[in-house]
Every structure is written in structure tokens, then in C-alpha cells.
Chains A and B, each alone.
Chain A
């Protein structure tokens, strides 16, 4: 089974609107971390937001928030007030366990296009 599933290959959003990018995960480890990265066309991977499995509140970082539903094993990224510069690939990732050096598992990504 896939550790991370992103079911939306491509999404479109009007500038200034909010958009939700879906991510579900699969793990039996009670301790894990969930991460979102942005990959613009230039190729670099930019860290956006982190959610720990024991965090009681949903993570927020500026215009990014994470809708964490533990029972459903979902960690959707919400981008508010979309900007043209938000057009990029977005990857959801998970680290299982508490070990610092544990690998990240990535999803297949969602391509977001912001329309003026």
C-alpha cells in the first residue's frame, strides 16, 4: 500500500480564492510527522508546513494551513488567498517514527495552477 496518496494530479484556482490539496497517509506507527513541500518549475523543494501526529491543533504558517484529520488519516493543505506565485507542484510527505534520520515518503504530487 502507498504510504502517501495524493489523488489530485492537477488543480486550478482563481487568484485570491482558497484551495485545498488532498493528502491521505497510511501508517501503523503512532508517532509520525506530516510535511508539505512546494516545487516550482525551477525544481527546488521548498518546505511549507509540518504537522506532528500528537499535535492537538492544526498547523498554520501564514497563508498555509493543514487540515489534519487523524481518524481519517488525512492531512490536507489549505492555501488561502491564492497568488500567481503559488502555481507549482505540491508534495505531501510523511516521516514514520521519532527517529531523526528516518526517510520521508512522498506522494505523487498535485500540480496547482492559479488563474488570474
Chain B
């Protein structure tokens, strides 16, 4: 069964460093998303991406964050200068294109980011 894959599964970084989290969405999906989940809290939306541009972003997604689809398969989240409060599980998700009724978002297994 097709799945969303995320790498790495765990990333440890020093405060102030840049990190790039990688995702390979399901191949025929057109919408891509990043969410984060701080330990013990609910899942929060960061950004959605369609047709090579951001379609929606939350107030969490400030200038420190950026997303990119560098090629036909990868979707990345970059955090330019990490802060302690960026420590969280980051989930990538993807969904089918428009004109689909359900638009179920399928999630990857997550990348646990630890900022020291």
C-alpha cells in the first residue's frame, strides 16, 4: 500500500542550527502538508502546499520556516535557526487532488526533532 515516508526518523540539532526535514508523499497526490505535535499536545497545522506554492499557512509558520518541492518526489520543511521550542514531532501528509470528495490526508511516521 502506498505510504508517505519521512526521513530522518529522529533529528538532534543545536539551537540556532538549520534543519531540513524530508518527506516523500504518495506518488499520485497533489496536496502536501506539514504538521507538528509538541510532546503530549495535539497535532497542529503548519502549512499546505499545492501546485508548487503555499496554499495555506498557520501563524506558527513564520519566516523561520520554509517548504520546497525540489524535485518530483520530495517535499521538504526547512527551519532556518532552530529554537528550543521547535522540539516536536513533525508530520508530513499528502492528499489527492481537487474534485475528490473525501480528501483524506495520509500521514508519514513523523520526524522527531530535538533541539538542544
Contact = CB atoms under 8 A, between A and B. Distances in A.
B108 A44 contact: yes
B79 to A, nearest CB: 19
Contacts of A85: none
A33 B102 CA distance: 7
Contacts, number: 70
Interface string B44-79: 110011100001101000000000000000000000
B107 A37 contact: yes
Contact of B95 (A43, A46, A52, A100): A100
A44 B1 CA distance: 15
Classify the interface of chain A: helix, strand, loop or mixed.
strand
Interface residues of B, number: 35
B60 to A, nearest CB: 11
Contacts of A25: none
A108 B41 contact: yes
Given A43-B110, A47-B106, A107-B42, A102 B97 contact: no
Given A47-B106, A100-B96, 7 more contacts: A93-B43, A100-B30, A101-B31, A101-B48, A101-B49, A108-B41, A109-B42
5 contacts: A45-B43, A91-B42, A100-B95, A100-B99, A101-B50
